[in-house]
């Protein structure tokens, strides 16, 4: 099963927004192929009539009164920013 898995490490790492070294690509491909081979055992079960579980206990939508309350002050919120200026995060230019 592991052999014919279609796992594409380049594509998936790009989706995950993680640069990988060539070594990591080789290592992760083989490990993830074996993990994916293992989880394919779920295919043994017929679940056509089963509802999916997203949460272990029933949860209802939770509403609160639409009242403004205090939030984190800007200087606290920016305290951990790697780069900031004028109460904003600094990033490379996005549009020309």
Partner 1 sequence: MQELYYKSASELAELLAGGELSSVELTQALIDRTKSVDEQVGAFNSFDEADALAQASASDERRASGDVLGPLDGIPVGLKDNLAVYGQPLTCSSKMLERFVSPYDATCIQKLKSTGAVLFGRLNLDEFAMGSSTENSAFGPTSNPWNLECVPGGSSGGSAAAVAAGEAVFALGSDTGGSIRQPASYCGVVGLKPTYGRVSRYGLAAFASSLDQIGPLARNVKDAASLLQAISGHDAFDSTSYKAEVPDFVASLESLKGRQWTLGLPKEYFAGVADSPALEPVRQAIEFYRGLGCEIKEVSLPHTEYAVATYYIVATAEASSNLARYDGIRYTHRAESFDAKDSVDIYCQSRAEGFGEEVKRRVILGTYVLSSGYYDAYYLKAQKVRTLIRQDFERVFREVDALLTPVAPEPAFRKGEKEDPLSMYLSDVFTISANLAGIPGLSLPCGYSGGLPVGLQILGKPFKEDEILAIGQEFETAHPFKDQHPKL
For residue 66, what are the CA distances in angstroms to 41, 63, 69? 47, 9, 9
- State the Cα–Cα distance between residues 71 and 4, nearest whole angstrom: 51
Q: Which is nearer to partner 1, 47 or 86 (CB)?
A: 47
- State the Cα–Cα distance between residues 86 and 63, nearest whole angstrom: 35
Give the gyration radius of the chain's Cα atoms: 23
The answer to the question of residue 68 lying near partner 1 (CB under 8 A) is no
Within residues 20-59, the interface with partner 1 by CB under 8 A covers: 20, 24, 28, 31-32, 34-36, 38-43, 45, 47, 50-57, 59
Interface with partner 1 by CB under 8 A: which residues?
Answer: 7, 9, 12-20, 24, 28, 31-32, 34-36, 38-43, 45, 47, 50-57, 59, 62, 64, 72, 76-77, 79-83, 89, 91-94
């Amino acid at each position: 099963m592991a052999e014919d898995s279609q796992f594409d490490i380049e594509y998936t790492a790009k989706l995950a927004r993680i640069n990988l070294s060539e070594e990591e690509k080789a290592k992760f491909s083989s490990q993830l192929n074996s993990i994916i081979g293992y989880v394919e055992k779920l295919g043994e079960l017929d679940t056509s009539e089963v509802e999916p579980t997203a949460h272990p206990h029933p949860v209802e939508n939770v509403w609160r009164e639409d009242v403004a309350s205090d939030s984190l002050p800007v200087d606290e919120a920016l305290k951990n920013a790697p780069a900031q200026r004028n109460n904003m995060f600094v990033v490379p230019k996005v549009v020309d």
